[in-house]
Chain A
């Protein structure tokens, strides 16, 4: 991916891309998986850097409207032709994480990240007990494939383990940051179900 495209992408994120370039870029986005995930990352990076990464990421946060016919040809098998959905918004968060670092190191310019103009398509939202249907929950309690009872069991150990683990100054910091990270409300059943059904949507 060349720099011109990256610049165009970040301009698009900031809502600053001229009309005539926008349509062309949107067509490219529709056809190019890599480009699309980069675009998605730019949104998340910017939110992360502004310290307002939403608890819930709207699927439409990482979506873009493209003409139906392009959509259909670019991505057969997608149910909703008018909205291009990224394959794995949740996994995308992990990718965003590493790119966030790049951002800090200037690979992506500050202008991209700190532009005060909110991008029209970013739908960052405060957590609420009643989420719109098209929201998915970003899992915050990290233990993979463990039941809630097991998770609390593991967390109890984690707090204790943290006083022993780590190296260097990170000895004091990193382990307890992990502990801080676990104190997150578990998604309720309904939300899990919603997230589940959206997964099946994408198949």
Chain B
């Protein structure tokens, strides 16, 4: 009898695991394959923003337009090559580049092994969001180096309709939720054009640098003494960032769900440099000086994680 029970339990948990894997896969696919229009609420810190989104995926690739509905009309446009941020309060347009045609697939782990190493993931129930039936995925970190998530996935498509990010006390620190979404509305080119007038704004463009200028700028030879468990270096580059005088060395660390950026640049003025910690909602940052360089670490992880990573940065 006991073995039968055990077998049953095993069977159920395997079925459950398969399910979780299937949902994660579905979620990842939905990013690149769905066309939709909708409105969502984003809550971060003491800030509530309502955003409108138009997203199209077809044989020409993906295009997207985000528009804030409250406050200044900030607008963000993305296609397979670049992201354009129109920021009226700042009177500026910031243009950044993507690395690959489809965004950054390398950072979305395709197998559940990587997720599973750092998080316990379960299906914990069903719910409705924006009128659609959803399943709820609970993503609980196995240690205190990362945050937890609760993700509501639309049952048909796997689209994320709501997500909560939680700290180690299970306190929600950032939320995103659709209040209205349509997968049926055809998205025309016109709907993907900017609506905010920005002719007079200054345009700031990010540039990637070649490896030669990398060496000359002294941006090589950087490494980590020890990376927190579960994280790996997912990407690294040297680039010119908007509003930065010097080239910036950029490392991307990932654990499957969370991403941490490490920026290293020649120290400019003390005025600008972050010394110690700062945070914005679920994003923590930590800055310190290493030799003549300013190291700034930023990511959706707890403060002690960004600090630990910052302290591990060293120059050979």
A interface vs B, CB < 8 Å? 48, 51-53, 55, 90-91, 93-94, 96-98, 100-101, 104-105, 138-140, 142-147, 149-150, 152-154, 156-161, 163-174, 176-185
Pick out which of these stretches binds chain A: B14-22, B25-33, B209-217. B25-33
> A153, B31: Cβ atoms under 8 Å?
no
- Inter-subunit contact A164/B160 (CB<8 Å): no
Are A139 and B70 also in contact (CB < 8 A) when A153-B273, A154-B285 are? no
A150-B273 in contact (CB<8A):
yes
Contacts of A172 in B (CB 8 A): 31, 55, 62, 64, 78, 103
Segment of B3-11, B39-47, B224-232 engaged in the interface with chain A: B39-47
Q: Which residues of B contact A160 (CB under 8 A)?
A: 96, 206, 239, 241, 250, 261, 263
Question: Are A147 and B31 interface neighbours, CB within 8 A?
Answer: no
In the bound assembly, the distance between CA atoms of A60 and B46 in angstroms comes to 19
Label chain B's interface by main secondary structure: strand
Task: Flag whether B98 is at the interface (Cβ < 8 A).
Answer: yes
Please give the residue numbers on chain B whose beta carbons come within 8 Å of chain A beta carbons, in ascending order: 27-28, 30-31, 34, 40-51, 53, 55, 62, 64, 66, 68-72, 74-76, 78, 83, 85, 87-90, 94, 96, 98, 103-104, 107-108, 127, 149, 151, 153, 159-160, 163, 172, 174-177, 179, 206, 234-235, 239, 241-244, 250, 252, 257-259, 261, 263, 269, 271-274, 278-281, 283, 285, 296, 298-300
- Whole-angstrom CA separation of A116 from B110 in the bound complex: 48
Chain A residues in 8 Å Cβ range of B96 = 159-160, 163
- Which residues from B are CB-within-8-Å of A97? 43, 46, 48, 175
Measured between beta carbons, the chain B residues less than 8 angstroms from A181 are 42, 44, 47, 49, 68, 74
Q: Are B278 and A143 in contact (CB under 8 A)?
A: yes
8 Å CB contact of B48 from A53, A142, A163, A179: A53
* Least CB separation from A106: chain B residue: B128
- Given A93-B48, A165-B261, A181-B42, 13 further pairs, Cβ under 8 A: A100-B48, A101-B175, A146-B274, A150-B273, A154-B298, A157-B298, A161-B261, A173-B40, A174-B163, A177-B176, A183-B74, A183-B87, A183-B90
A167 touches B149 (CB 8 A): yes
Question: B47 and A142: CB pair below 8 A?
Answer: yes
Chain A residue nearest in CB terms to B239: A160
The prevalent SS among residues of A at the interface is helix
Residues of A within 8 A of B263 (CB): 157, 160
Choose from B44, B89, B206 the contact partner of A185 (Cβ within 8 Å): B89
A154 touching B278 by the CB < 8 A rule?
Answer: yes
Q: Which of B72, B127, B243, B300 has a CB less than 8 Å from the CB of A165?
A: B300
Roughly how many angstroms separate A168 CA and B29 CA in the complex, as a whole number? 8
Closest A residue to B46 by beta carbon equals A93
B42 nearest in chain A by CB position: A177
* Given contact pairs A174-B176, A176-B76, A143 touches B280 in the complex (Cβ within 8 A): yes
> Across the interface, which residues of A come within 8 angstroms of B30, CB to CB?
168-169
B172/A165 in contact, CB under 8 A: no
- Within the assembled complex, what's the spacing in Å between the Cα atoms of A168 and B42? 16
Given A156-B243, A160-B261, A168-B151, the answer on whether A142 and B83 have CB atoms closer than 8 Å is no
CA distance A159 to B98 in the complex (A): 12
Q: Chain A residues with Cβ under 8 A from B273's Cβ?
A: 150, 153
Contacts of A90 in B (CB 8 A): 46
